[in-house]
Amino acid sequence: MDTKAKHTALIKAEAKRLGFLSCGISRAEFLEEEAPRLERWLKNNMQGAMSYMENHFDKRLDPTKLVDGARSVISVLLNYYPEETQPEGTYKISKYAYGQDYHHVIKGKLRQLQEFISAEIGEVQGRAFVDSAPVLDKAWAARSGLGWMGKHTNLLTQQLGSFYFIAELITDLDLEYDHPVTDHCGTCTACIDACPTQAIVQPYMVDGSKCISYFTIELREEIPAAVQGQFDDWIFGCDVCQDVCPWNRFSKPHSEPLFNPRPELLSLTKNDWEEISGEVFKKVFQKSAVKRTRYSGLQRNINFVKNPGG
């Protein structure tokens, strides 16, 4: 086994040991196919108020602008599909936000992977990315053979569907590269048909400014009246396009204790949500991604959903 193959095998085995679902590697180079797609998306204002998406255009497409001498992008997936979901008939939050904020959980694991690489292979330049910099996670994961980009633009795998986080280590290490897998969406349009706000404007393109996740998390001002009555009880994020995807029949519960929800979360009724105090919000969502919308934002979302007629 040559050095490159040996290093690649070591890294993948350690990623597995750390609890990642899978690990794939691709050459760190300019994302030629994604460039016109991203440009078109921005030109059509599909980023809405997410003006940060307009920044660092070059860095989003070229990992060598993020890490000097970058040669490899190591992509990893971490499952977050919960054992138990919220009961029917209550206000809903995305499953990814049930437990502790994934940024911290994954960053910790990636740090361990980096330390392992340094210990086993030697001094290697690299940076870990978890949604924290202009990196096109899904594009890199797809290039690394971890899945294909579904029509809802989430990464899909035949074995496990799409309920997982994506993160990467960009490094100057020379490794063996994986190849993309084929698309298995076929003629299915379940996600497009089910989207409550018609945010999937065409297969493989989501208008971010129409997505329930955008309205309930990213948007700081008032939610436009035009989408009143279309949120289907979602108050933080939305899982509809993933819930209806046939490939998610194969989702299996995660085994990461930090992603387990606080018991209080699963027992909250609509009434409890409507009466939630700042104190309870702090307690239940202490380390959760839900904190991103703040207490006032959550109240705004609940009031918006509670009055479908405006």
Identify the pLDDT of residue 51: 47
45 and 142 both lie in a single domain: yes
Inside any domain, residue 180: no
Query: Does 156 share its domain with 223?
Result: no
CB 100 within 8 A of CB 288: yes
Let me know whether 195 and 74 are in one domain.
no
**In sequence order, what are the beta bridge partners of 126?**
171
Give the Å distances, CA to CA, from 183 to 188, 246, 285: 12, 14, 37
**Same domain assignment for residues 52 and 157:** yes
Q: What's the pLDDT at 31? A: 76
pLDDT truncated to tens, each residue of the chain (310 aa)? Answer: 689 999 999 999 999 999 999 999 999 987 767 755 656 655 655 555 554 454 555 666 788 888 889 999 999 999 999 999 999 999 999 999 999 999 999 999 999 999 999 999 988 889 898 876 657 889 999 999 999 999 999 999 999 999 999 999 999 999 999 999 999 999 999 999 999 999 999 999 888 889 999 999 988 899 999 999 999 999 999 999 999 999 999 999 999 999 999 889 999 999 999 999 999 999 899 889 999 889 999 999 999 999 776 6
Check whether residue 108 and residue 207 sit in a common domain. no
Residue 200 and residue 166 share a domain: no
- Per the structure, the complete domain to which residue 27 belongs is given by 3-83+98-171
What is the set of active-site residues? Answer: 131
Number of domains in the chain: 2
**Minimal CA–CA distance to 12: which of 1, 25, 28, 23?**
23
Domain identity same for 196 and 151: no
Angle of CA points 56, 131, 66, to nearest 5°: 45
pLDDT at 308: 72
**Tokens 């003006």 correspond to what residue?**
51
Residues found in the chain: 310
Same domain, 270 and 135: no
Please state the pTM of the whole predicted model.
0.91
> How high is the pLDDT of residue 97?
96
Let me know whether 25 and 113 are in one domain.
Answer: yes
Provide CB contacts within 8 A for 239, sequence distance 6+. 92, 94, 95
First CA to last CA across the chain, in angstroms?
66
